[in-house]
Amino acid sequence: MALKKQGRSWLNPEGRMKKEKKEAKETGKLLELLDRHYPRTESFLVYEEPWQLLIATILSAQCTDNRVNEVTKILFARYGSPRELADAEREEVEKIIKPVGLYRAKANSIIGCAGRLCESFGGEVPDKIEDLTSLPGVGRKTANVVRSHVFSEPSVVVDTHVKRVSRRLGLTDTDDPVKAEFELMERLPKDHWSRINIQFMSLGREICRARSPRCDECFLAQYCDSCRAPRIEKTCH
Ligand code: SF4
C-alpha cells in the first residue's frame, strides 16, 4: 500500500530513510486535503454538558448520530443531571432510548455510568483515561471522544469508519481498534489526532463507504492503494 510501513526490511538504512520521508510527505499531503475538505472539528452529537456527551457517546454504539440526537433531546429534558439519571426508573429509560437499539444493555450502561459518576467523581466527568474506562459502558473509544471534545486532550478516536478508512489508506495495518489507535498516534502528528475521527467519519459516510467506496469521487484517490478507480498518477513530490 502506498502509505504503509510494510516492506522496509530489505532496504538499507539510506533507502529506508528515503522511503520514510516520502511516506511522511504523502501523509502530510493527505492530512492537508482532509483539513481542506472537512474543516469541522465539533462532535456530531448534540450536548451542552460533559456528562451529556459521555451518555450520548455510549448510546451511539451501532447507531447513527442523528438518531442518538433525537433520543438524547428527550432523555436530557427528562433527566437534567447525572444524579437524576442514576435514580431513574430503568423501564422509563429503556422506553426513551429504544430507538437507538440495544436499549436494555444501553439503559444499564447509562444508569450505571451516571451512578458511578455521582459515587466516585462527585457528579463530574473525569479526564483521565483510566477513570473514564472504569465507568460502566465506557471503552477507549468513548473515553477518547470525551477527552478530545471536553478536555481538548489530543486523542485518536477509532470507530468503525476510522478503522476502515485508515486501513484502506494504509495508515494502519490492523482490524483491532486499540492497535489502530496506537498505530495512528504513531503515524499522525499529535495536533491532528483529535480531528482525524470527524474527518474519517465524514469521508467514510460520504465517499469511502463500507460496501461500495466511491473511489472515482475521492479526493484521496492518488494516495490510496485500495483505490478501485482507474489508476491516478501521483503528484506528491
Ligand atoms: S480511494 Fe477509495 S478506498 Fe481509498 S480512501 Fe478513497 S474511497 Fe476509500
Q: What is the DSSP letter of 210?
A: S
- Would you put residue 67 in left (φ > 0), alpha (ψ -120 to 50) or beta? alpha
pLDDT given at position 235: 46
Cα(224) to ligand 1 centroid in Å equals 6
| Per-residue pLDDT reduced to its tens digit, 180-210 | 999 999 999 999 999 999 999 999 999 999 9
Contacts of 128 by beta carbon, 8 Å cutoff, 6+ apart: none
At 236, the pLDDT band (50, 70, 90 cuts) reads very low
Domain 50-149 has CATH 1.10.340.30: yes
Q: What is the DSSP letter of 91?
A: H
CA atoms of 120 and 143, how far apart (whole Å): 16
| Per-residue pLDDT reduced to its tens digit, 111-129 | 999 999 999 999 999 999 9
CA atoms of 88 and 71, how far apart (whole Å): 16
Ligand 1 pocket check for 55: Cβ under 6 Å = no
24 or 178, which is more confident: 178
Atom of ligand 1 nearest to the CA of 219: 6
Q: 106: part of which helix (H) or strand (E)?
A: helix 103-121
Domain 154-226 has CATH 1.10.1670.10: yes
Q: Give residue limits of the domains in the chain.
A: 50-149, 154-226
Global pTM value:
0.87
CB 53 within 8 A of CB 149: yes
Ligand 1 pocket check for 146: Cβ under 6 Å = no
| Per-residue pLDDT reduced to its tens digit, 44-53 | 999 999 999 9
| Per-residue pLDDT reduced to its tens digit, 140-172 | 999 999 999 999 999 999 999 999 999 999 999
Ligand 1 pocket check for 34: Cβ under 6 Å = no
Atom of ligand 1 nearest to the CA of 224: 4
